[in-house]
């Protein structure tokens, strides 16, 4: 029985918002038949009423004041797609305070204000749904909340920024420098005019914080996560990685260290073994590997961004919200369930490493560097060198690579700092973590 028609309020009519509006209108008969719920879009809030839009919408539906959505007693559910942080935060908070369930695809607002909003959602017993905030059309949120609910999540590792993945794929397959690969991504619409958050790793970091809060039921803030982007990835490292049996990917790594009762949270370009499934995730695609104590490792794969995949995730949450509106207090919106966990200091994190030095070709260099590794008990598994370039003074520079066995990051930092202070090397080397996925 379909029953009373539920009223929806949509805030934001940009790329994703217009896709959500069009799909809700175009596929209404299908959605109502599958969900067994009747719905209508009552009001749409936009930033500029005079702006020309690709989507056809009745003028009487539009408002430039999102408060009208919150204050309208007939609107049952708010869909927040305005983007940004501060204004979106005010909208979501006001909706929750008004007792209206919220569906959002806004990763930034949840990364910055998620702890407060999740707490408010729990206190008001008003759900906040956010499937589209992580991985676009990949159903990772619902999977963590439902399908994997009996598992203690041991780790999450993934590629969750399509722009950086497209750039790294282009650098590897076409031999392009980063700047040219980025330019091509912008021309194809895979990167924004300002791609800073994609390149510097913070888009992926926002998503990582949301996944970590969900998987471990704990509040987190952006200052808790270690973030490095792909700005310093060079063609020589991509080529060396391939020769050594690896692929470079911008990885999100979330691990629970049971003994320390702490989370490891980091985003950085890493060496991924070519035989691991994440190594074969190319172009704008995303993939997230979740390891649970019961299920083992599962991998979720799909398009991580774009109008249609994100709209699909938003509408999935809208249908879920409509169904749960009728269940008298029951909902699957996130509820924090543990106290705040400590975050493992980066110096205590352990992986193997790839370390590349650009050195003058002179006798004794390799021995001098190797002796410093030995001084700090950092074990070398392999070395490799090849020609780099000849500088303007005619001095030859070589690329000297050390593959290092797993050790604490702080120990490797001591090695590199002393090498620089003792003028054994002229500049700090390029360092990449090597992910083994064994723990």
- In tens, the pLDDT along 22-53 reads 999 999 999 999 889 999 999 999 999 988 88
What pLDDT is recorded for position 111? 92
Please report how the helices 202-216 and 107-124 are oriented relative to each other, as an axis angle in degrees rounded to 10: 20
Annotated active-site residue 207? The verdict is: yes
- Is 37 within 8 Å of 2 (Cβ atoms)? yes
- In tens, the pLDDT along 246-259 reads 999 999 999 999 88
What pLDDT is recorded for position 427? 79
Mean pLDDT of 342-368: 89
Bridge partners of 39, per DSSP, are: 6
The answer to whether position 370 is within a domain reads yes
pLDDT tops 90 at residue 308: no
Under the banding of pLDDT at 50, 70 and 90, the label for residue 260 is: confident
Mean pLDDT of 280-304: 93
Higher pLDDT, 350 or 384: 350
What is the 8-class DSSP label of residue 200?
Answer: S
Under the banding of pLDDT at 50, 70 and 90, the label for residue 329 is: low
What pLDDT is recorded for position 358? 85
Under the banding of pLDDT at 50, 70 and 90, the label for residue 330 is: low
Q: Read off the CATH number of the domain in which 387 is found.
A: 3.30.70.260
User: Pick from 192, 206, 121: which is nearest to 160 by CA?
Assistant: 206
- Domain housing 175: 144-302
Instruction: State how far the alpha carbon of 379 is from the alpha carbons of 214, 306, 372, 405, 416, in Å.
Output: 37, 44, 11, 6, 14
Tokens of 311: 């709209």
Distance CA 149, CA 129 (A): 17
- Is 250 within 8 Å of 178 (Cβ atoms)? no
Please indicate, yes or no, whether residues 195 and 280 belong to a single structural domain of this protein. Answer: yes
Tell me if residue 265 falls in helix, strand or coil. Answer: strand
Q: Read off the CATH number of the domain in which 176 is found.
A: 3.30.360.10
The string of DSSP letters for 411-431 reads HHHHHHHHHHHTTSSSSPPEE
Mean pLDDT of 155-183: 95
Under the banding of pLDDT at 50, 70 and 90, the label for residue 395 is: low
The answer to whether position 337 is within a domain reads no
Distance CA 188, CA 365 (A): 45
Long-range contacts of 55-61 (CB under 8 A, 24+ apart): 55/13, 55/18, 55/21, 55/22, 57/13, 57/21
Residue 207: CB atoms within 10 Å: 26
Please indicate, yes or no, whether residues 128 and 169 belong to a single structural domain of this protein. Answer: no
- Is 104 within 8 Å of 129 (Cβ atoms)? yes
What pLDDT is recorded for position 388? 66
Q: Is 61 exposed, middle or buried (0-12, 13-18, 19+ CB in 10 A)?
A: middle
The answer to whether position 170 is within a domain reads yes
The answer to whether position 270 is within a domain reads yes
Bridge partners of 10, per DSSP, are: 44, 79
Tokens of 366: 């390799």
Mean pLDDT of 91-112: 95
Distance CA 329, CA 315 (A): 21
Please indicate, yes or no, whether residues 222 and 297 belong to a single structural domain of this protein. Answer: yes
Number of domains in the chain: 3
Tokens of 58: 């009745």
Question: Widest CA span of the chain, in angstroms?
Answer: 84
Please indicate, yes or no, whether residues 148 and 129 belong to a single structural domain of this protein. Answer: no
What pLDDT is recorded for position 38? 94
The string of DSSP letters for 55-121 reads S---GGGEES-THHHHH-TT--EEEE---SSHHHHHHHHHHHHTT--EEE--HHHHHHHHHHHHHHH
pLDDT tops 90 at residue 303: no
Tokens of 297: 């490792």
Distance CA 382, CA 401 (A): 8
User: Pick from 143, 69, 101, 93: which is nearest to 331 by CA?
Assistant: 101
Mean pLDDT of 199-227: 93
What pLDDT is recorded for position 97? 97
Top mean-pLDDT range of 190-194, 325-329, 417-421: 417-421
Please indicate, yes or no, whether residues 282 and 385 belong to a single structural domain of this protein. Answer: no
Under the banding of pLDDT at 50, 70 and 90, the label for residue 137 is: confident
> Where does a domain end: 302, 335, 356?
302
Mean pLDDT of 112-128: 91
Place of tokens 């070398």: 380
Q: What pTM did the predictor assign?
A: 0.90
Bridge partners of 156, per DSSP, are: 254, 290
Please indicate, yes or no, whether residues 134 and 212 belong to a single structural domain of this protein. Answer: no
Mean pLDDT of 320-335: 78
The answer to whether position 14 is within a domain reads yes
Helices marked H in 245-393: 307-324, 365-375
The answer to whether position 329 is within a domain reads no
What pLDDT is recorded for position 283? 93
Distance CA 255, CA 155 (A): 4
Termini Cα distance of the chain: 49
Q: Which helix (H) or strand (E) holds 122?
A: helix 107-124
Please indicate, yes or no, whether residues 61 and 153 belong to a single structural domain of this protein. Answer: no
The answer to whether position 1 is within a domain reads no
What pLDDT is recorded for position 334? 72
pLDDT tops 80 at residue 187: yes
Q: pLDDT > 70: what percent of the chain?
A: 95
For the chain, the average pLDDT equals 91
Distance CA 26, CA 344 (A): 48
The answer to whether position 339 is within a domain reads no
Catalytic one of 100, 207, 255, 291? 207
Under the banding of pLDDT at 50, 70 and 90, the label for residue 205 is: very high
Please indicate, yes or no, whether residues 117 and 150 belong to a single structural domain of this protein. Answer: no
Please indicate, yes or no, whether residues 164 and 150 belong to a single structural domain of this protein. Answer: yes
Long-range contacts of 275-281 (CB under 8 A, 24+ apart): 276/435, 276/437, 278/157, 278/158, 278/159, 278/249, 278/251, 279/246, 279/247, 279/249, 281/159, 281/165, 281/249
């Amino acid at each position: 029985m379909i029953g009373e028609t539920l009223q929806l309020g949509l805030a934001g009519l940009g790329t994703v918002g217009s896709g959500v509006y069009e799909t809700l209108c175009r596929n209404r008969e299908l959605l109502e038949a599958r969900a067994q719920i009747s719905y209508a879009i009552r009001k749409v809030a936009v930033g500029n009423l005079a702006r020309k839009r690709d989507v056809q919408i009745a003028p009487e539906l539009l408002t430039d004041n999102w408060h009208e959505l919150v204050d309208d007693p007939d609107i049952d559910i708010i869909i927040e797609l305005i983007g940004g942080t501060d204004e979106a935060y005010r909208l979501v908070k006001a909706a929750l305070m008004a007792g209206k369930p919220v569906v959002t695809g806004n990763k930034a607002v949840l990364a910055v204000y998620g702890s407060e909003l999740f707490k408010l959602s729990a206190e008001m017993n008003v759900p906040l749904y956010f499937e589209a905030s992580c991985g676009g059309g990949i159903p990772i949120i619902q999977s963590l909340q439902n399908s994997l609910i009996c598992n203690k999540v041991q780790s999450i590792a993934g590629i969750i920024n399509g722009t950086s993945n497209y750039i790294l794929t282009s650098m590897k397959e076409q031999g392009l420098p980063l700047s040219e690969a980025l330019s091509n991504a912008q021309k194809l619409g895979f990167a924004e005019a300002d791609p800073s958050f994609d390149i510097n790793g913070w888009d992926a970091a926002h998503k990582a914080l949301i996944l970590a809060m969900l998987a471990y039921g704990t509040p987190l803030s952006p200052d808790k996560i270690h973030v490095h982007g792909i700005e310093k990835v060079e063609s020589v490292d991509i080529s060396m990685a391939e020769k050594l049996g690896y692929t470079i990917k911008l990885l999100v790594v979330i691990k629970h260290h049971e003994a320390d009762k702490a989370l490891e949270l980091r985003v950085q370009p890493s060496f991924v073994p070519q035989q691991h499934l994440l190594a074969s995730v190319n172009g704008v695609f995303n993939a997230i590997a979740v390891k649970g104590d019961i299920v083992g490792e599962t991998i979720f794969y799909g398009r991580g961004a774009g109008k249609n995949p994100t709209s699909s995730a938003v509408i999935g949450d809208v249908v879920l919200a409509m169904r749960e509106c009728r269940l008298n207090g029951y909902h699957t919106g996130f509820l924090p369930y543990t106290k705040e966990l400590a975050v493992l200091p980066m110096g205590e994190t352990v992986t193997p490493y790839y370390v590349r030095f650009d050195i003058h070709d002179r006798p004794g260099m390799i021995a001098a560097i190797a002796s410093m590794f030995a001084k700090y008990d950092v074990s070398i598994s392999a070395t490799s060198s090849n020609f780099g370039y000849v500088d303007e003074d005619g001095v030859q520079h070589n690329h000297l690579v050390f593959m290092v066995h797993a050790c604490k990051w702080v120990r490797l930092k001591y090695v590199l700092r002393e090498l620089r202070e003792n003028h054994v090397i002229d500049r700090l080397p390029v360092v990449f973590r090597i992910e083994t996925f064994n723990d």
